Structure 1
Amino acid sequence: MIIVLKQGTPQKEIEKIKRSIQMKGLQIDESRGAKKTVMGLVGDTSVIDGEQLKANEYVENVMRVSEPYKRASRSFHPQDTVVDIGDIKIGGKKIAVIAGPCSVESQEQIDGIAKAVKLSGASMLRGGAFKPRTSPYSFQGLRDSGLEMLHHASQKARIPVVTEIMSADKLEAFLDDDIDAIQIGSRNMQNFELLKAVGKVNKPVLLKRGLCATIEEWLMSAEYIMAGGNRNVILCERGIRTFEEYTRNTLDLSAIPAIKRQSHLPILVDPSHATGKRWMVEPMAKAAIAAGADGIMVEVHNDPDHALCDGAQSITPQMFDHLMNSLRQIAPVVGREL
Structure 2
Amino acid sequence: TSPYSFQGLGIEGLKYLKEAKERTGLPVISEIMDPRDIDVMLDYVDILQIGTRNMQNFKLLMEVGSVDKPVLLKRGMSATIKELLMAAEYILSRGNEKVILCERGIRTFETATRNTLDLSAIPLLKSLSHLPVAVDPSHGVGKRDLVAPMAVAAVAAGADMLLIEVHTNPEEALSDGEQSLTPEQFKNMMEKVKAVAMAIGREV
The answer on 1:311 being equivalent to 2:149 is no
The answer on 1:237 being equivalent to 2:126 is no
Taking the aligned partners of 1:255 and 1:305, their CA distance within structure 2 comes to 32
1:281, distance to aligned residue in structure 2 (A): 0.5
Taking the aligned partners of 2:47 and 2:8, their CA distance within structure 1 comes to 18
2:198 is aligned to 332
The answer on 1:153 being equivalent to 2:20 is yes
Q: 1:299 is paired with a residue of what secondary structure? A: coil
1:327, distance to aligned residue in structure 2 (A): 1.1
1:290 is aligned to 156
Taking the aligned partners of 1:175 and 1:312, their CA distance within structure 2 comes to 31
1:78-89 to structure 2, matched below 5 A, reads none
Identity among equivalent positions (%) equals: 59
1:134-283 to structure 2, matched below 5 A, reads 134-176=1-43, 178-283=44-149
Could you say which structure has the larger radius of gyration? 1
Q: 1:172 is paired with a residue of what secondary structure? A: helix
Taking the aligned partners of 1:204 and 1:273, their CA distance within structure 2 comes to 21
Taking the aligned partners of 1:321 and 1:244, their CA distance within structure 2 comes to 30
1:56 is aligned to none
* 4+ aligned runs moved over 2 Å, structure 1: none
Q: Deviations over 1:275-325 (max 9, x none)?
A: 000000000000001111112111001110110000000001110011111
Query: Number of paired residues?
Result: 204
Query: Which AA in structure 2 matches 1:162?
Result: I
Taking the aligned partners of 2:7 and 2:178, their CA distance within structure 1 comes to 17
Q: 1:152 is paired with a residue of what secondary structure? A: helix
Taking the aligned partners of 2:30 and 2:2, their CA distance within structure 1 comes to 21
Query: Which AA in structure 2 matches 1:200?
Result: S
Higher strand share: 1
Aligned alpha-carbon RMSD (Å): 0.7
- Give the TM-score, by structure 1 length: 0.60
Unmatched runs of 5 consecutive residues or more in structure 2? none
1:174, distance to aligned residue in structure 2 (A): 1.5
1:161, distance to aligned residue in structure 2 (A): 0.4
1:261, distance to aligned residue in structure 2 (A): 1.0
- Give the TM-score, by structure 2 length: 0.99
Taking the aligned partners of 1:168 and 1:268, their CA distance within structure 2 comes to 23
